[in-house]
């Protein structure tokens, strides 16, 4: 739901003062910890937003996450696929009676492409969802291969081929253009085969080679012929003669490979075969939280995130120390579960953390830019459901909330002044504040009014304010949309509110529409045939006008008054 853009001050067009659009790029998720001062502790707090069954997830084990070309987030669970548009979840589930539904509810891996989404399941094989139609299709070659129905992971190479890590049938490479499948398996009689047919992870290196993590070790596949060679694991990870499960793989920008196993974290340089191993330590708070590493991610700031069966950690490369995060039953902003099984960074830089039993968590890295203070009533804040913030040229912080107006913070005194809606001129039009900016004038008009013109583009705004070139394309599109369509959105809000009011007004069973003599004959006939149970349902019937609905409402209110 958007309410529009709130202007809180006019200012002249002076370079260095035009920071308002950048503030929109810093829009924060609800109930976040606000940024004010420098970090004061060795382990900065991780304040997350949780998503579970109540928020619309189909199930709370988040096996995999990905973002498609349209910006939608997709989450695979043990019971269905979930699409998130930033506001609500839409579920796709397996239905035995529907051949067009997901082939299996357990979604194990997702790969986004330019035109759709590859979906791997544990028991139903692999299907492709076309972005243009939303339809699911199983390639014949994959559907007909019986031992590729239980899939653990997917990866896509530079040629667009799909690499499939199966639970018990090795690796398969599928070419969507030709429909051909190439198999790479373990064989006890072939030294140059995979170390094991139970495959957990696949990583395509920048060098062109591929690493494959299996239930018994790590394999390297050559670029040209896909020749398999075993990667010797250090004794600190794998005892001689004992198998080691390699669950997760990722590569940093400098070519270093990080390897998550059931016995610790490995740092591997494939150029010289050098290793460094990290283990949990009961004595050290700055050590790995658990030796059983389940997932790895290197984010846009080159931070290494490690998901384990007993918490989340990130590694400070400078000190080689770990900052650890776990669930705290007394803190609703902590991780929802210690067992972390998936990690993903979206294009906005937010970290999505999938857990085994607690659902999903989202962390905004901007909360680490300055430090933290809680937006609680003790400090004078009206609401912790925060939507946006900006800074004016006096250095004051304007914090928008959804439902409690604006909190104006004087950072020199820490004083918080509420700005609320009231039945008087000069107050907010609505306490639901979604974005704020300072009015900058150009050609005797504010930039917001200038952008509102049909012919004005974002590029023209950037020409007049070069500082805005740093704003991402996604944020620029959102700002342009909000400004140009503010009036339309406001009208839609009114319509939505009206529909909600209508939905609350129930029509009694057995209501006699034919007895309403003031209704048009066509309306009486259609209402008697459809038998709607609410005014909202009646309003959606073809041919029923707002006047018809109003007549029914008046009649219902009259009955209640008498009754």
Per-residue confidence (pLDDT) for residue 284, from 0 to 100: 66
Q: Which of 512, 495, 493 is nearest to 556 (CA)?
A: 512
Interaxial angle between packed helices 486-504 and 473-484, expressed in degrees from 0 to 180 and rounded to the nearest 10: 70
Q: What is the pLDDT of residues 196-228, one digit of tens each?
A: 999 999 999 999 999 999 999 999 999 989 999
As assigned by CATH, the class of the 505-562 domain is: mainly alpha
Rounded CA-CA distance 282/512 in Å is 74
Question: What are the DSSP calls for 350-364, one per residue?
Answer: -EEEEESSS-EEEE-
Q: Which of 517, 521, 510, 509 is nearest to 554 (CA)?
A: 517
Q: How confident is the model at residue 12 (pLDDT cuts 50, 70, 90)?
A: very low
The pTM of this model reads 0.62
Share of the chain above pLDDT 90, in %: 50
Q: What is the pLDDT of residues 353-386, one digit of tens each?
A: 999 999 999 999 877 754 556 667 777 888 878 8
Mean pLDDT along residues 551-560: 77
Mean pLDDT along residues 510-515: 88
Q: How confident is the model at residue 395 (pLDDT cuts 50, 70, 90)?
A: confident
- φ and ψ of 314, to 5 deg: -130, 145
> Is residue 402 predicted with pLDDT exceeding 80?
yes
Q: What residue ranges of the chain are covered by domains with CATH 1.10.150.570?
A: 505-562
Compute the mean pLDDT over every residue in the chain, rounded to the nearest whole number.
Answer: 84
Exposure class string for 192-209: b at 16+ Cβ within 10 A, else e: ebbbbbbbbbbbbbeeeb
Per-residue confidence (pLDDT) for residue 3, from 0 to 100: 35
Q: What is the pLDDT of residues 167-184, one digit of tens each?
A: 999 999 999 999 999 999
Q: What is the pLDDT of residues 45-79, one digit of tens each?
A: 889 999 999 999 999 999 999 999 999 999 999 99
Residue 220, classified by CB atoms within 10 Å of its CB into exposed (0-12), middle (13-18) or buried (19+), is middle
Question: Residue 103 carries which DSSP code?
Answer: S
Which tokens sit at 118? 């590859």
- Between 43 and 360, residue with greater pLDDT: 360
Phi-psi region of 160 (alpha: psi -120 to 50; beta: other; left: phi over 0): left
Mean pLDDT along residues 259-284: 92
Question: What are the DSSP calls for 83-94, one per residue?
Answer: EE-SS-EEEE-B
Kindly provide the residue ranges of all beta strands, DSSP E only, lying in 15-170, ordered along the sequence. Answer: 48-51, 62-67, 73-77, 80-84, 89-92, 107-113, 116-121, 126-130, 136-137, 151-156, 162-166
Rounded CA-CA distance 328/375 in Å is 19
Per-residue confidence (pLDDT) for residue 519, from 0 to 100: 83
Q: How confident is the model at residue 5 (pLDDT cuts 50, 70, 90)?
A: very low
């Amino acid at each position: 739901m958007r309410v529009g853009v709130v202007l809180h001050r006019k200012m002249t067009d002076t370079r260095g003062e035009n920071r308002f659009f950048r503030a929109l790029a810093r829009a924060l998720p609800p109930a976040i910890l606000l940024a004010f001062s420098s970090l004061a502790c060795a382990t900065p707090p991780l304040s997350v937003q949780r998503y579970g069954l109540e928020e619309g997830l189909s199930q709370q084990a988040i096996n995999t996450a990905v973002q498609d070309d349209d910006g939608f987030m997709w989450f695979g669970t043990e019971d269905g696929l979930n699409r998130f548009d930033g506001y609500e979840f839409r579920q796709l589930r397996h239905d035995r009676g529907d051949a067009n539904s997901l082939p299996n509810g357990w979604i194990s891996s997702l790969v986004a492409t330019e035109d759709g989404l590859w979906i791997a399941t544990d028991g139903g094989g692999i299907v492709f969802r076309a972005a243009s139609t939303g339809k699911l299709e199983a390639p014949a070659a994959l559907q007909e291969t019986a031992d590729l129905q239980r899939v653990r992971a997917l990866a896509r190479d530079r040629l667009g081929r799909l690499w499939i890590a199966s639970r018990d049938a090795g690796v398969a490479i599928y070419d969507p253009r030709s429909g051909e499948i190439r198999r790479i398996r373990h064989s006890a009689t072939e030294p140059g085969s995979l170390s094991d047919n139970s495959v957990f992870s696949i990583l395509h290196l920048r060098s062109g080679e591929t690493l494959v993590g299996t239930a018994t070790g790590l394999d390297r596949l050559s670029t040209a012929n896909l020749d398999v060679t075993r990667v010797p694991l250090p004794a600190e990870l794998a005892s001689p003669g004992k198998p080691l499960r390699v669950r997760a793989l990722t590569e940093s920008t400098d070519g270093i490979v990080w390897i998550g196993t059931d016995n610790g974290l490995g740092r591997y340089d494939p150029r010289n075969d050098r290793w460094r191993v990290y283990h949990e330590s009961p004595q050290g708070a700055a050590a790995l939280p658990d030796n059983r590493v389940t997932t790895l991610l290197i984010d846009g700031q080159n931070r290494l995130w490690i998901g384990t069966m007993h918490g989340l950690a990130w590694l400070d490369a400078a000190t080689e120390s770990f900052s650890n995060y776990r669930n705290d039953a007394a803190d609703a902003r902590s991780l929802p579960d210690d067992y972390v099984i998936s990690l993903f960074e979206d294009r906005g830089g937010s970290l999505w953390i999938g857990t085994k039993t607690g659902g999903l968590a989202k962390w905004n890295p901007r909360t680490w830019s300055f430090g933290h203070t809680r937006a609680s009533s003790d400090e004078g804040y009206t609401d912790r459901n925060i939507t946006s913030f900006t800074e004016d040229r006096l250095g004051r912080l304007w914090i928008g909330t959804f439902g409690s107006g604006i909190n104006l913070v004087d950072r020199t005194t820490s004083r918080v002044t509420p700005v609320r809606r009231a039945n008087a001129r000069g107050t907010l039009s609505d306490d639901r504040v979604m974005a704020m900016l300072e009015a900058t004038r150009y050609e005797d008009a504010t930039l917001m009014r200038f952008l509102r013109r049909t012919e004005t583009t974002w590029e023209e705004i950037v020409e007049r304010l070069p500082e805005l070139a740093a704003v991402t394309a996604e944020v620029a599109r959102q700002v342009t949309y909000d400004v140009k369509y503010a009036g339309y959105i406001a009208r839609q809000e009114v319509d939505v509110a009206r529909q909600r009011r209508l939905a609350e007004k129930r029509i009694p069973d057995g209501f006699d529409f034919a007895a309403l003599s003031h209704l048009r004959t066509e309306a009486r006939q259609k209402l008697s045939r459809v038998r709607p149970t609410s005014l909202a349902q009646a309003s959606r019937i073809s041919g029923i006008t707002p006047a018809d609905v109003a007549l029914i409402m008046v009649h219902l209110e009259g009955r209640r008054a008498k009754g």
